[in-house]
Amino acid sequence: MAARAIWRGDLVIGELTCPVALYSAVTAQERVSFHIINRDTGHRVRREYFDADTDQGVDNDDLVKGYETSEGQAIILTPDEIRDAVPDSDKTLEMASFIPCDGIDTVFLERPYYLAPGSRQALEVYDLVREAMAAKGVAALVQTVLFRRVRSLLIRPHGKGMIATTLNFDYEVRPAKDTFGGISAVKIEGEMLELAQHIIETKQGEFDPAEFEDRYEEAVIELVKAKIAGRKPKRLPKRKASNVTDLMEALRKSAGVGAKDEGKRKGPAKRASTAGAKAKSAPKRKAG
């Protein structure tokens, strides 16, 4: 099934303009979803709304959007009022500012979309802009009205195309200090740091999304199949927790370094350290 554009507009840089189309890059349609079922009848149920104060049922025709003020007053907003208040979309992605591709904190990245040429005639300008951005290693910051909201987007080259990622606004991102501010600084050095670095080096690789399995999805699908077949579901193997409680021992086991190997690797230093300890512990002779 061919992808369908969810938004169309123009990509603008200086005097260059080309039609573009936005496509969803991620989807949740393939995920397992549940319905709310009446246990007695097996039928799906529907949701009903009740007035919080009178406990009376409310018809769908009487449901409106509202904003509650800090004083508890409800300000009713009609669909027409909301539509008139939202800025009109000019369907333009104007590239007025460029930053390095890695010049933005990932906490601000929200949702990715594929940005493709909107027509065959747009291909030359589209490729020119993409190639120039790729050569410079930059991404573009733009703002436009998207899905009835003014949104900021980061547009960057991606293979033969470009990806437009919506960005969280500053007020939406919680300050990191609120979470990390209370973490005390711990000085890590010497053998512990070397072992941790060694473990990281031995496990370096490349990101392959196919290697990551959705264990929840697999378990639910297996459960449904088992219920249909009238059998017990197969149990996915559980990950065994390590019983190691000592940090240094855990590091050595993770790095594949045994106590004997560690002794050989640190032998000279340990012997020197031991000799020094004996010298310190030996009683001093009194001057004669």
Same domain? 14 vs 93: yes
Same domain? 146 vs 219: no
Give the model confidence (pLDDT) of 166-199 as tens digits.
999 999 999 998 988 888 887 877 888 888 888 8
State how far the alpha carbon of 262 is from the alpha carbons of 33, 152, 253, 255, in Å: 52, 54, 11, 11
For residue 142, give the nearest of 133, 152, 132, 156 by alpha carbon: 152
Residue 121: inside a domain, yes or no?
Answer: yes
Same domain? 17 vs 125: yes
Same domain? 15 vs 151: yes
Same domain? 21 vs 132: yes
Q: What are phi and psi of 22, to 5 degrees?
A: -105, 135
Q: Which two tokens stand for residue 69?
A: 């003020």
Contacts of residue 246, defined as CB under 8 A and 6 or more positions apart, other chains included, come to none
Full-model pTM: 0.70
Residue 164: inside a domain, yes or no?
Answer: yes
Same domain? 20 vs 91: yes
pLDDT of res. 258 = 59
Residue 278: inside a domain, yes or no?
Answer: no
DSSP states of 120-188 as a string? GGGHHHHHHHHHHHHHHTEEEEEEEEETTEEEEEEEEEETTEEEEEEE--GGGSPPTHHHHTTPPP---
Give the model confidence (pLDDT) of 261-274 as tens digits.
555 444 443 433 33
pLDDT of res. 272 = 36
Same domain? 19 vs 105: yes
Alpha helices in 41-139 (DSSP H): 79-85, 123-136
Same domain? 165 vs 227: no
Same domain? 105 vs 19: yes
For residue 67, give the nearest of 51, 57, 56, 78 by alpha carbon: 78
State how far the alpha carbon of 54 is from the alpha carbons of 60, 64, 67, 81, 109, in Å: 17, 17, 20, 28, 43
Asked if pLDDT for residue 65 goes beyond 80, the answer is yes
Q: Which two tokens stand for residue 240?
A: 């065994």
Give the model confidence (pLDDT) of 232-285 as tens digits.
888 766 766 666 567 777 777 777 775 555 554 444 434 333 334 444 444 444
pLDDT of res. 17 = 93
CATH, residue 118: 2.40.290.10
Bridge partners, 157 (sequence order): 162
Element (H or E) spanning 65, and its range? Answer: strand 65-68
pLDDT of res. 236 = 67
Q: How many domains does the chain have?
A: 2
Residue 129: inside a domain, yes or no?
Answer: yes
DSSP 44: B
Beta strand 16-24 with 7-13 is antiparallel
Give the model confidence (pLDDT) of 17-64 as tens digits.
999 999 999 887 777 788 899 999 999 998 889 998 899 999 988 888
Residue 279: inside a domain, yes or no?
Answer: no
Same domain? 14 vs 152: yes
Residue 44: inside a domain, yes or no?
Answer: no
Q: 9 with 144: CB under 8 angstroms?
A: yes
What's the rounded Cα separation, in Å, for the pair 232 and 222?
10
Same domain? 19 vs 159: yes
- Torsion angle (degrees, nearest 10) of CA 84, 89, 95, 99: 50
Residue 229: inside a domain, yes or no?
Answer: yes
For residue 91, what are the domain limits? Answer: 7-27+87-172
**Cβ neighbourhood burial of 41 (10 Å; 0-12, 13-18, 19+):** exposed
Find tokens 């393939």 and name the residue: 30
Beta strand 109-117 with 161-167 is antiparallel
Find tokens 């001057």 and name the residue: 287
Give the model confidence (pLDDT) of 75-91 as tens digits.
988 888 887 777 777 78
Residue 82: inside a domain, yes or no?
Answer: no
Same domain? 148 vs 249: no
